[in-house]
Amino acid sequence: MLVKILITAAFISFILAYLHGRESGETGFEAYVEPFVIVLILILNAIVGVWQETNAEKALEALKDLQGESAKVVRDGYVIPDLPAKELVPGDIVELRVGDKVPADMRVAALKTSTLRVEQSSFTGESMPVLKCTLPVFLDDCELQAKENMLFAGTTIVNGACLSIVVDTGMKTQIGKIQTQIHEASLDESETPLKKKLDEFGSRLTTFIGIACFLVWVINYKYFLSWDVVNGWPTNFRFSFEKCTYYFKIAVALAVAAIPEGLSAVITTCLALGTRKMAQKNAIVRKLPSVETLGCTTVICSDKTGTLTTNQMAVTEFFTLGGKSTTSRVFKVDGTTYDPKDGGIVDWNCYNMDASLQAVAEISAVCNDAGIFCNGRAYQATGLPTEAALKVLVEKMSVPDAKVRNKIRDMQFAANYMIDRTSVKLVCCDWWAKRSKRLATLEFDRFCKSMSVIVQEPTGQNRLLVKGAVESLLERTSHVQLADGSMVPIDESCKQLLLLRQFEMSSKGLRCLGLAYKDDLGEISDYSNASHPAHKKLLDPACYPEIESNLVFVGVVGIRDSPREEVPQAMGDCKQAGIRVIVITGDNKSTAEAISQEIQLFADSEELKGRSFTGKEFMALSSSEQIEILTRPGGKVFSRAEPKHKQEIVRMLKESGEIVAMTGDGVNDAPALKLADIGIAMGISGTEVAKEAADMVLADDNFSSIVSAVAEGRSIYNNMKAFIRYMISSNVGEVMSIFLTAALGIPECMIPVQLLWVNLVTDGPPATALGFNPADVDIMHKPPRKSNDPLINSWVLFRYLVIGSYVGLATVGIFVLWYTQPSFLGINLISDGHTLIQMSQLQNWGECSSWSNFTASPFTVSGGHIISFTNPCDYFSVGKVKAMTLSLSVLVAIEMFNSLNALSEDNSLITMPPWRNPWLLIAMSFSFGLHCLIMYVPILANVFGIVPLTSAEWLLVIIVSAPVILLDEILKLVGRSRRKISKVKVKAM
């Protein structure tokens, strides 16, 4: 709206300059300075706008990159080894192997290996690769996670091989549906709270400007329109087009004065500064308005995996039996990442390791296909995350060999991790691998729910090492191993103890793996290689239950994707700041609830009924029940959530008036990220689709970075209010000065080009510097502001009017003083020799030609230049140059002092001294220097119609300008008193 007014002002100014040039014969650049400056402002604002909006929508292109390019297809009995994925049709048979990207949605027809695992976390949010099978799914409306016989386009085969039948292609696939949802979400994008406020502010300012301009023009009607009254009726109308356009130009000048031309550029600069601060806190903002929107966030919808948790599996607890089969030893483990140096076993004093602990280490290290590598920034796993966690545990346990252990200790343990940016040498795991030579692998079987390896012990005897589901292993266990290495038959009490410990670990959200071994291997006790007679038996999964029977149970390890250490504190900050947190994850319900309680989303004793739902459960509720649940205070957790569930939750929250920040990393999160007020993608684990759909990217995937960003957003909003308050109060002062000039009928004390200079250049640096104001210490102790809260409330508007009135009185007052008074507060005003006149003469200066015996003496200005007149009436045009310079200087000085008032909306300069923001002091000096530049450089002084001032005149300027600080301090004191009274009333109620 402000830009529209400027365009109108530029057009009118150009026409008036053209008409004035034709009448006066002036056709040079000076005649068109004003419209050219306005056009320049418009061009600069347009450049800023285009630069800000150049982030093209690339989410759909990124989605295309996810889809497989080609596939090995069997069609009409012929094998096509490299068929482009876009040519697939339903019914095609596709062969997939490890590393292949699934090119379409397809059903598993036959497994070519015993197991098939698919990485589909980007679609379903599951933290682990998912087992697939050929069994049919009979439910019509089941979750994506439950479709165990389906492979989805864009996912990756991480283990095994299969033949699959294409079911859906193109936009009918799950990834195609997400493309449609992203497009629909982009259509639903609403304006940011900042844009709404600025548009609302612009509309109100437009009304104010229009009324004020009209009044100024009408007040001066007598100068361009007159008539005689005969018999009570007006006759003989006289109209002066020249005077009419002159006063119309004054009205245009009023519009120019009222519009904060530099506001758009200053806001963009402030937002850009905010993005820099956020980037230092690992929050990278892709769209500038999002910086401010964060400040009024009321709900954060957070993904679990990778945001609230580390997205790295880690053993946090394990147990073995003690000296008897009815006692157990529980060991706690610190560390939440794949970094072997991250934490250790709590109170670990078992460096010599008894037989049970040695068995735990051996099984964890050798019955394992995972690896760990470092990409230069973080440790990551190859293979299954759970197996990588077991290897890290082994490194924390050390080895039983004293010489090797001492060698590791001498090398300070950490030095053994020889990082070459691709692999990490795991010393302890390597020691176990060399000690127990691996001979064969029995792959994971979905029926046995375990995997095992045959190893050759240092004694030359073969041993079977097994890991798998605890309940499944216990069914095939005959003995348990005690701490001293002895084996005792398992009985019911021992089994119940083991199940109880396992249940306790599971209730904490741990994924439990049982560990066992077997020494009596029968016909494979002497197995050595594939030529052994029993080798075929090892290839047949039907034989696995027999081989993996009569096991010796060793212990249980508890693994999980641990919460980030800083998240509970961030949750507390959110509660204190009045921000609700809703966890939306594709993971299972029990894990989501356990993590939510651990990060203190819920209190330990809090009942989760009505606060925890699966996506399917929530969508089955009525619309009114859904709204009631979402608007209810406190945290919520939604598990097994699909893309459509996330999108609906975000949409309902927005319709309820909430400002929603949504986090996510997967393809399935993209539609909700696009729909949310603030979409926040994960920088490390996030897919390119999520990043392109988001407004902000977290460089560290950390929830606490979101909370820091919210605090920064609130601070930026406060700073924006500060410079808007500063610029508008200054502009109101300019309007008041022009209005007073018109109302009193005196010559204009400032011309439009001067007002443009002040608004765009002189005001700009202090306004920008206010963006560096330090954040209030209690910024996260206040509830989020409402998105419909006005930028300017009634009290702030009153303050604008009071300060603006003083600015107007000061700028017009010094103009009048110079013409009418010989001195002011002891300062001689007529030392330059100018002629004093009466106030009545100044008000009727247009009738100067009819005054008898009026003369105007030439006067000198600083530097010895003499201002003289051929026509005495030029004293009110050419001769006003000194008075106009004083008015402009007072305006600049007042606005510099007024910028100090804007350091804080409520706090006094005593509690918020100017040196808290040194950039403001530098900006004030710079702006004042610019003013002196145009004043003391002759060429610039001629363009702006001003002259140099003497030291006495500068003293007068400072004396007239400084009281604006005292005036605003009084208003701040009144404001603080009003708030204290209102707080007391609220408490009394």
Q: What's the pLDDT at 958?
A: 92
> Is the pLDDT at 347 greater than 90, yes or no?
no
Q: Is the pLDDT of residue 374 over 90?
A: no
Q: Does 363 have pLDDT greater than 50?
A: yes
Task: Yes or no: say if 398 and 428 are a contact pair by the CB < 8 Å rule.
Answer: yes
Report which DSSP code applies to 747.
P
What's the rounded Cα separation, in Å, for the pair 670 and 666? 7
425-458 burial string, b = 16+ CB within 10 Å, else e?
ebbbbebbbebbeebbebbbbeebbbbbbbbbee
Q: State residue 336's pLDDT score.
A: 84
Within a domain: residue 248? yes
Q: Which two tokens stand for residue 563?
A: 């919460």
C-alpha 927/C-alpha 475 separation (Å) is 83
> Is 80 exceeded by the pLDDT of residue 966?
yes
| Own/partner long-range contacts of 865-874 (Cβ < 8 Å, ≥24 apart) | 865/947, 867/947, 872/848, 873/845, 873/848, 873/849
Banded pLDDT at 408 (limits 50, 70, 90): low
* DSSP notation for 118-145: EE-HHHH--SSPEE--S-----TT--GG
Is there a domain that residue 120 lies in? yes
Residues 729 and 814 in one domain: yes
Instruction: Judge whether residue 574 has pLDDT over 80.
Output: yes
pLDDT over threshold 60, residue 419: no
Among the options 303, 445, 561, 587, which is catalytic? 303
**Residue 421 predicted with pLDDT over 60:** no
What CA–CA distance (Å, rounded) separates 214 from 206?
A: 12
Q: Over the stretch 667-703, which tens digit does the pLDDT of each residue have?
A: 767 778 888 888 888 776 666 667 777 888 887 777 7
What pLDDT does residue 879 have?
84
Nearest in space to 799 (alpha carbons), one of 887, 703, 721: 721
Instruction: Indicate the residue type of 837.
Output: I
Q: What is each CA distance from 63 to 40, 60, 184, 670, in whole angstroms? A: 41, 5, 15, 10
186-216, pLDDT tens digit by residue? 655 556 666 667 677 767 777 777 787 787 7
Residue 61 above 50 pLDDT?
A: no
DSSP state for residue 461 in the 8-state scheme: -
Pair 806, 963: CB distance under 8 Å: yes
User: Do 320 and 467 fall within a single domain?
Assistant: yes
What is the mean predicted confidence (pLDDT) over 47-70? 48
For residues 185 and 944, which has the higher predicted lDDT (pLDDT)?
Answer: 944
In terms of domains, do 593 and 731 share one? no
Lowest pLDDT segment from 95-109, 241-255, 282-296, 301-315: 241-255
For residue 471, is it within any domain?
yes
Structure tokens at 87: 């040519």
- The confidence band for 406, taking pLDDT boundaries of 50, 70 and 90, is low
Same-domain status, 485 and 588: no
Same domain, 521 and 599: no
- 96's CB contacts (< 8 A; 6+ apart) are 71, 72, 102, 151, 157, 161, 162, 163, 164
CATH of the domain at 966: 1.20.1110.10
Quote the pLDDT of residue 553.
Answer: 94
Mean pLDDT of 223-237: 77
State the pTM of this model.
0.64
On the 0-12 / 13-18 / 19+ scale of CB atoms within 10 A, 671 is buried
- Segment 447-460 shows an average pLDDT of 87
- Of 668, 701, 734, the position where a domain reaches its end is 701
367/407 same-domain check: yes
Residues 735, 825, single domain; the answer is yes
Rounded Cα distance, 763 and 899, in Å: 9
Q: Of the candidates 294, 422, 396, which has an alpha carbon nearest to the alpha carbon of residue 707?
A: 294
Q: At what angle do helices 703-744 and 241-258 cross, to 10 degrees?
A: 150
- Using the 3D structure, point to which of 534, 562, 590 is the last residue of a domain: 562
Report the pLDDT averaged over residues 386-412: 74
> Comparing C-alpha atoms, which of 82, 93, 89, 153 is closest to residue 123?
153
How many domains, the chain? 5
704 and 730 Cβ atoms separated by less than 8 Å: no
The Cα 680–Cα 303 span in angstroms is 10
Average of per-residue pLDDT across 463-492 = 91
Burial of 118 (0-12, 13-18, 19+ CB in 10 A): buried
CB 544 within 8 A of CB 115: no
User: Which segments of 529-622 does DSSP mark as H helices, in order?
Assistant: 535-539, 544-547, 567-576, 589-598, 615-619
Q: What is the pLDDT of residue 517?
A: 94
pLDDT at 212 (0 to 100) = 74
Beta bridge partners of 614: 639
Residue 448 β-bridge partners? none
The CA distance from 278 to 706, in Å, is 10
pLDDT, the chain, mean: 80
Q: Is residue 140 part of a domain?
A: yes
Is the model more confident about 199 or about 813?
A: 813
Nearest to 172 by CA among 183, 180, 182: 180
Angle in degrees, 0-180, between the axes of helices 623-631 and 643-655, rounded to the nearest 10: 70
Asked if 824 and 755 sit in the same domain, the reply is yes
Give 782-801 as a 3 state SS string.
CCCCCCCCCCCCHHHHHHHH
Query: 942 with 825, same domain?
Result: yes
pLDDT digits 0-9 by tens, 17-57:
676 666 555 555 556 666 776 677 667 656 655 554 443 33
The CA dihedral of 23, 27, 32, 36, to the nearest 10 degrees, is 140
Q: Which residue has the higher pLDDT, 145 or 408?
A: 145
The residue written with tokens 């998912």 in the block is 130
**β-bridge partners, 824:** 827
Q: Which residues contact 148 (CB under 8 A, 6 or more apart)?
A: 130, 131, 132, 133, 135, 137
278-288 average pLDDT score: 76
What gap in Å lies between CA 981 and CA 973, rounded to an integer? 12
Please tell me the least confidently modeled range out of 100-114, 320-334, 678-692, 897-911. 678-692
For residue 438, what are the β-bridge partners? 455
Residue 226 falls inside a structural domain: no
Q: What is the mean pLDDT of residues 493-510?
A: 87
Per-residue confidence (pLDDT) for residue 257, from 0 to 100: 62
| Position 860 pLDDT exceeds 90 | no
| Percent of the residues in the chain that have a pLDDT greater than 90, as a whole number | 12
State residue 318's pLDDT score: 94
Contacts of 496 (CB under 8 A, 6+ apart): none
Q: What is the pLDDT of residue 557?
A: 95
Span 54-83, average pLDDT: 62
Q: Residue 985's CB: how many other CB atoms inside 10 A?
A: 9
> Is 740 found in the same domain as 883?
yes
Does some domain include residue 503? yes
Q: With H, G, I as helix, E, B as strand and everything else as coil, classify residue 692.
A: helix
Cα–Cα distance measured from residue 842 to residue 416, given in angstroms and rounded to the nearest whole number: 91
284-294 confidence digits (pLDDT tens):
777 766 777 77
- Which pLDDT value is given to residue 39? 76
Specify if 101 maps to a domain: yes
- Cα–Cα distance measured from residue 726 to residue 766, given in angstroms and rounded to the nearest whole number: 9
Residues in a beta bridge with 468: 450, 514
Q: Parallel, antiparallel, or unpaired for β 823-824 and 696-698?
A: unpaired
Cα–Cα distance, 682 to 494 (Å, whole number): 45
Is residue 58 pLDDT above 90, yes or no? no
pLDDT at 44: 65
| Separation of alpha carbons 548 and 518, rounded Å | 8
Q: How far apart are CA 467 and CA 465, in angstroms?
A: 7
- Residue 760's pLDDT band, with cuts at 50, 70 and 90, is low
Average pLDDT over residues 161-171: 88
* Top-ranked range on mean pLDDT: pick from 208-212, 361-365, 437-441: 361-365
Q: Are residues 493 and 374 in the same domain?
A: yes
Q: Which of 91-105, 317-331, 613-627, 662-676 has the lowest mean pLDDT?
A: 662-676
Q: Of 652, 675, 328, 363, which is closest to residue 495 (Cα–Cα)? A: 328
CA gap 501, 489 in Å, rounded: 19
Separation of alpha carbons 652 and 646, rounded Å: 10
- Point out the domain boundary residue: 562, 597, 626: 562
Give the residue from 129, 185, 177 showing the smallest Cα distance to 157. Answer: 129
Angle between helical axes of 174-187 and 59-66 (0-180°, round to 10): 180
CB-based burial, 165-200: b 16+ in 10 Å, e otherwise: bbbbbeeebbbbbbbebbeebeeeeeebbbeebbee
**Phi, psi dihedrals of residue 179, rounded to the nearest 5°:** -60, -45
User: Do 395 and 514 reside in the same domain of the chain?
Assistant: yes
Strands 162-168 and 105-111: antiparallel
Alpha carbon distances (Å) from 137 to 107, 173, 614, 966: 11, 18, 19, 77
Region 96-107: mean pLDDT is: 85
Per-residue pLDDT band at 513 (split at 50, 70, 90): very high
CATH number, domain at 519? 3.40.1110.10
Structural domain includes residue 556: yes
For the chain, give the number of residues.
989
**195-209, 214-228, 753-767, 831-845, range with the lowest pLDDT:** 195-209
Q: What is the mean pLDDT of residues 548-572?
A: 88
* Backbone torsions φ then ψ of 209, nearest 5 degrees: -65, -45
Tell me whether residue 303 is one of the annotated catalytic residues.
yes
Dist CA 175 CA 670 (whole Å): 11
Question: Which pLDDT value is given to residue 29?
Answer: 57
- SS3 of residue 377 by DSSP: coil
Residues 6+ apart with CB under 8 A from 185: 647, 671, 672, 674, 675, 693
Q: Is the predicted pLDDT of residue 984 greater than 70, yes or no?
A: no
pLDDT grade for 934, boundaries at 50, 70 and 90: confident
Which domain range does residue 119 map to? 89-168
664: domain CATH number is 3.40.50.1000
Burial category of 74 from C-beta neighbours within 10 Å (exposed 0-12, middle 13-18, buried 19 and up): middle
